Amino acid sequence: MENRKAAGPSQFVQSLRVPRPIFYFLFSIFTFGALLPGCGAPGEPIERKAPVPIAVTDLAATQQGDSVILTFTLPKDSVEGHPLKQPPAIEIFRDFQTAPAGSTPAPGASAPATPTLLVTIPSAMVDQYGTHGQMYYGDELNREDFTQHPGAQAVYIVRTRTSDKKVSANSNAAALRIEPAADPITDLKAEVTHQGVVLNWTPPQTTLTGSAPAIVNYRVFRAEINQQPAAQPNASPSPESAATPKTISSLLPVGDIAAPPFRDQQTRFDKTYIYSVRSVAQYDRARVGSADSNFVTPVRLDTFPPSAPEGVIVALIPTEDRTPAYLDISWSISPDNDIAGYNIYRSEGASTSKTKLNTVLLLTPAFHDMNVLPGRHYIYTIAAVNRAGNESPESAPVLGDVPDANAPSERQPQ
């Protein structure tokens, strides 16, 4: 049996038919690369640096009631210009400073060198504070915030971060003067009338820190609720079920008034509305609006009858040729703008029953009573009917006679 020796490196190179200098050059590169730690090792992760979000530039602050509402746009890119893979965590800072002279904070207000952290919103909870990158956060102020910093302005900044070590630069500073708002109205009531909705309430008397300053006006907010009217006339659905976040966000101002009541005549029948009222208190250098009042949700059903017709006239039309005498009844057009028609009623005295003469609503204010007899005395009344089917009170009665001599009667109703 033939013995063969294992091939050495030289023989292996010769078997590959690769020039010896080139082989040793490639072999040295491969060996050196394999010895480098973390480079090219199969399955070994490559460490990446956490991105730094760009700074927020549109932070804004407004006071509503005893809360400061912050709004800003959440960064979507890093300072290197790369999209962030997930929403960054949010840090909100707040400090109190002496308010500048004048009615508004000084332009270009800046936060302290070491701002005070107010709250941190983890990345996983960011979606609860906004939609489509537009963030909203309410900072609820307490009594000590006002008593310990009287006449001060609150200064806010925002930072965002993707890791414990990588944080954005400061946002722009948002500053506003803070004062305790008047307590929210708690007894707002709504009354549905023929002309619209009437709102009434008790003016607030106190704030978190004491007596309320002068109330300069009230702002009324309204939204229409897309639901069926309640079964009972002018009944209201539950305020808790009607005042959803969606309906509250759709409330729009419909009027300002110096004092209650407020009459809203820009409403329609068979519609449900939701209302809220805020008061505006006057301080030396600022006006502060209160939080929303309780919500009321009146259903404006048309249960209101139109006014009674007036100007009823009964005229005798004498016999002519073969046409027997009859009574012609007419009246003034109703001033109500939703009249569907009229009903006419006839009786022959207080002791007799009343009969409706028309089978369908009369569209014009006139009627020919052809079913009359000579020597009889008739009493007529007219009622108007609106488009909701509500019938008005009857008009004043008017007498019509058909004498044997076919002459008009001058008698008055008894």
CATH of the domain at 231: 2.60.40.10
How far apart, in whole angstroms, are the C-alpha atoms of residue 234 and residue 232? 6
Residue-by-residue DSSP string for 116-174: PEEEEE-GGGGGGGEETTEEEEEEE--HHHHHSSTTEEEEEEEEEESSSS-BPPP---E
Looking at residue 34, what is its pLDDT? 47
Closest CA to 139 of 95, 171, 99: 95
The domain boundary, picked from 300, 332, 365, lies at: 300
Side chain identity, residue 113: A
Looking at residue 3, what is its pLDDT? 46
How far apart, in whole angstroms, are the C-alpha atoms of residue 256 and residue 254? 7
Q: Answer for the pair 180, 207: CB distance below 8 angstroms, yes or no.
A: yes
Question: Given phi > 0 = left and psi -120 to 50 = alpha, else beta, which region is 352?
Answer: beta
Q: Return the CA Rg of the chain.
A: 42
Closest CA to 260 of 286, 283, 293: 293
pTM for this entry: 0.67
Looking at residue 225, what is its pLDDT? 87
In a domain, residue 22? The reply is: yes
Looking at residue 24, what is its pLDDT? 53
In a domain, residue 169? The reply is: yes
Cα–Cα distances in angstroms (integers) from residue 188 to residues 235, 236, 296, 329, in the given order: 16, 13, 7, 49
| Residue 239 token pair | 């305020």
Q: Answer for the pair 357, 317: CB distance below 8 angstroms, yes or no.
A: no
Same-domain check for residues 278 and 318? no
Evaluated on CA atoms 407, 410, 412, 414, the torsion sign reads negative
* Count of all residues that appear for the chain in the document: 414
Between helix 9-16 and helix 20-35 the angle, nearest 10°, is 110
Which residue numbers in the chain have pLDDT < 70?
1-48, 102-108, 227-247, 405-414
Same-domain check for residues 65 and 35? no
Same-domain check for residues 120 and 222? no
The DSSP letter of residue 363 is S
Same-domain check for residues 216 and 173? no
Q: Which helix (H) or strand (E) holds 12?
A: helix 9-16
In a domain, residue 65? The reply is: yes
Same-domain check for residues 146 and 210? no
In a domain, residue 161? The reply is: yes
Cα–Cα distances in angstroms (integers) from residue 253 to residues 256, 300, 342, in the given order: 8, 19, 40
| Residue 153 token pair | 């302005």
How far apart, in whole angstroms, are the C-alpha atoms of residue 229 and residue 53? 50
Q: Answer for the pair 110, 45: CB distance below 8 angstroms, yes or no.
A: no
Three-state DSSP at 243 gives coil
Looking at residue 315, what is its pLDDT? 96
| Residue 256 token pair | 């300002």
Same-domain check for residues 386 and 317? yes
Looking at residue 411, what is its pLDDT? 52
Same-domain check for residues 27 and 68? no
Q: Bridge-partner residues for 277, per DSSP?
A: 220
Q: Note every long-range contact of 208-212, with CB atoms under 8 Å and residues 24 or more positions apart, other chains counting.
A: 208/66, 208/142, 208/143, 208/146, 208/180, 208/181, 208/183, 209/143, 209/146, 209/147, 209/180, 212/182, 212/183, 212/281
Looking at residue 35, what is its pLDDT? 46
**Domains held by the chain: number:** 4
Closest CA to 226 of 160, 258, 274: 274
Three-state DSSP at 304 gives coil
The domain boundary, picked from 133, 155, 177, lies at: 177
Q: What b/e string do you get for 136-151 counting C-beta neighbours within 10 Å, with b at 16 or more?
A: ebebebeeebbeebee
Tokens 């607030």 locate to 204
In a domain, residue 1? The reply is: no
Tokens 């294992």 locate to 6
Peptide bond into 261 cis (omega under 30): yes
In a domain, residue 70? The reply is: yes
The DSSP letter of residue 163 is S
Residue 346, domain extent: 313-402
